Structure formats: structure tokens, C-alpha cells
Amino acid sequence: MSSIRIENLTKRFGASTVLDDVSLEIGQGEFLALLGPSGCGKTTLLRLVAGFETPSAGRILFDGVPVAGEGWDVPPEARNVAIVFQSYALWPHMTVAENVGYPLRVRGVKGAARTERVAEALAAVELPGFEARRPAELSGGQRQRVALARCLAMDPAVVLLDEPLANLDVHLRASMEDIFKRFHARTGATMVYITHDQAEAMALADRIAVMDRGRIVQLDPPAKLHAEPQSERVARFIGEGRVADCRVVACENGAARIVLFGHEASVRAGAETSRIGKGRLCLRPGDLAVGEHGFEARVVSSRFAGSHAVVTVEPLADPEVRLAVIHPVPLAAGASVRVRVADGWLLPAEAAVPAEAAA
Ligand SMILES: Nc1ncnc2c1ncn2[C@@H]1O[C@H](COP(=O)(O)OP(=O)(O)OP(=O)(O)O)[C@@H](O)[C@H]1O
């Protein structure tokens, strides 16, 4: 396993800057997810780490040793990096055992030693006994597990995964998430995992780097990212967050009293935040409750989600705002309700600009 240090990395293609002064440290054996909308630069960052692209500025170090930038350009094969793509990239003419054993063959591992390592890798991804099959005889999930087993056999220091579950259905994704976790525990490899699926990133990663237009806009463990978004953009991107204007009447030691649509409520704030006046509040569906108290609102629509419903409401005090509320059952459109603020997160002051104005 290697630590990865990315320093002021910029990548331009012609006139467009695809990565803009990105700095990031990934610890030895850490599982880091790169999360962001299509085109934000995730794959480009991964390709730079792998060595398929060279930086326009900045540098990349593995275990403190430069591999790219400022005159350094260690080729991909010398970086001990394995890559798992969504397309699996298995050789169709080879058996599963030959595919998994290929990196070992290249390194000169022969005979029983190779057979043993292949069997071990296949057991780790729960495909024992599949050695003689060809990729065409496998399901999508099984192919992806063979690709992982090939990675495992290589014993890489760094594993880069580019949306490896994108081609799989929902059920397979869940079971593959478990396999990735076990794979990570077994190899101890440093893993960088690209996804635009936040649930996947939350389920797998130690930390998540949220990217937006070539920059990292927040880097935090999943729970903190969800609970304490540092900008309006992240607040909206993660966990169906909605943002509304509020008035802060008291704020200290991580707790704030706010007035939202004429009603007072207690919410969370950054420990260092102490201000009163105008504020912007991030509200997740689970932060609100329909009941006997709270601000008046009208139900716009309801979406049934299995164990509960997500009800969209518009406050009477500001019908432009749409908020989502978790409720046991769907509610009829047009119904009058009261909504209580049970929790919420006061966005840091520097984030209190509308997303459009910040764009
Ligand atoms: N070789 C290239 N030449 C020119 N532009 C490129 C090249 N590679 C990527 N880009 C551009 O860089 C931007 C970022 O692309 P990148 O593939 O890194 O995004 P991404 O976040 O991985 O997106 P997705 O989730 O859709 O894969 C895009 O606008 C893309 O068109």
C-alpha cells in the first residue's frame, strides 16, 4: 500500500481547465471515494494518478516519492497501480484462471505458486471453482469479481476503481459493495473509487472528496459530509438536501436558534460559527416532521419509498421554497399541514450565497 499526495494538480486540455489546483492526501490503506457530477474531472484525476496523463502543473507523490509533475513521469507499469473499470476489461479468449493469473505470469510466477494464488484470489471474491470458465459464460457481477480477483492477484499498492458497479443492477450492487469492503480489508491497498452514486460512496469510503468543475469542494468522512455540508452546492448534492433562508437569533458552541417561516427552532451549526442575522439552512427530509406544530405548508406531492413516503411541501410563508419531509404514508396533494423542524444545519457564512450566484 502507498500513500498518495496530490499537490496543486492542474490539467488542461487545450483551452479548458479540467482539474484546477487540486490538492489531496490519501493515507496508506485508505478507501477514498471521488464523488461528483458527470464531467467534473474524476476520471481525469484517476488517469493522472495511474500515469495515463501528465499534469499541466503540480505533482503527484507515492509514499513521498514524486511519480508525476515537475519533470517526473514514472510510467503506469512502474507505479504498482491496479485499475478496475466498469467494462471489466477481461480477455475473452482466456479462461477465468488465465485472466486472474495474467499479472502473475507477466511477473514470472509459475506453476503451483500461480495456481494457488489464482485460487486464493477467486475464493476472496467468492468465485471458487470458476477457473475453467470463459468471460462469456459469466454474469456481469461475476465478471466484475474476476476483474477484482485479477487485481488481488497482482497485490497492488494502489487500486483505482472507475465506476466499477455502473453496469450492474441494484441487487448485485449491494452484494458487490460487501465484496469491495472485504477486498479492501484483505489487501490493505489504498483505494480510490470514482462514482457519481452518493449511496455507493457513503457505503464504501473512509472519506469522500466531492468534486465540482475541476475542484474538490469538500473532503470529509461520509457521516460528516452528510451532517455538515460546507457549501450550498454540497448541501443540495448530498442526501436530497434543500436550502432555505432563515434568521439566526442565537448561535454558539455548535448550536443555533433560528427563525424559519415565522417559527423558532434549534439546529446545528459549526463549532466556530457565532453570528446572528441572515442565514442559510440545510434541511434534509429526515430533519422535518409533519405534525401538530410548526410552520404552515401545503403538500405539493408525495413519493412512496417502501418503508416511508417523501412528501414535498411548500411553506405558506414562502411558496417558492420546496422542502422534502419523511412521513410514514403519502399525503394528498393540496393538503394543509404543519411542519416542525427537528434538526437542520446552518451553513457556514461563506457558503451563504445561492448556488446560481456562486456558479
Ligand atoms: N483527452 C481529453 N481531451 C479533451 N477534453 C477532455 C479529455 N479528457 C477529458 N476531457 C474533458 O474533461 C472534462 C472532465 O472529464 P472527466 O472524464 O474527467 O469527467 P468525469 O467527472 O469523470 O465524468 P463522468 O462521470 O461522466 O465520467 C470533460 O469536460 C471532458 O470532456
Q: What ipTM did this prediction achieve?
A: 0.95
Instruction: Give the predicted TM-score (pTM) of the model.
Output: 0.87
Q: Is the CB of 39 under 6 A from ligand 1?
A: yes
From the list 53, 55, 128, the residue with the least C-alpha distance to 97 is: 128
| pLDDT (0 to 100) of residue 301 | 97
Which segments in the chain show pLDDT lower than 70?
A: 88, 350-359
| pLDDT (0 to 100) of residue 22 | 97
Distance in angstroms (rounded) separating the CA atoms of residues 259 and 317: 12
**CATH architecture of the domain formed by 4-227:** 3-Layer(aba) Sandwich (3.40)
| pLDDT (0 to 100) of residue 141 | 84
User: Domain residue spans in the chain?
Assistant: 4-227, 232-351
Domains 4-227 and 232-351 share a fold: no
Q: Whose CA is nearest to atom 7 of ligand 1?
A: 13
pLDDT single digits (tens) 170-203: 777 777 788 888 888 878 889 999 998 898 899 8
| pLDDT (0 to 100) of residue 137 | 93
Determine the distance separating the centroid of ligand 1 and the alpha carbon of 162, expressed in angstroms: 13
pLDDT single digits (tens) 327-347: 999 999 999 999 999 999 999
> Around 18, how many Cα atoms within 13 Å sit in the side-chain half-sphere?
18
232-351 has which CATH code?
Answer: 2.40.50.140
Name residue, grid cell 434534509: 284
| pLDDT (0 to 100) of residue 351 | 52
Q: Whose CA is nearest to atom 12 of ligand 1?
A: 18
Determine the distance separating the centroid of ligand 1 and the alpha carbon of 257, expressed in angstroms: 43
| pLDDT (0 to 100) of residue 353 | 47
Number of H helices, E strands in the chain: 9, 21
Q: Is the CB of 37 under 6 A from ligand 1?
A: no
Distance in angstroms (rounded) separating the CA atoms of residues 24 and 192: 12
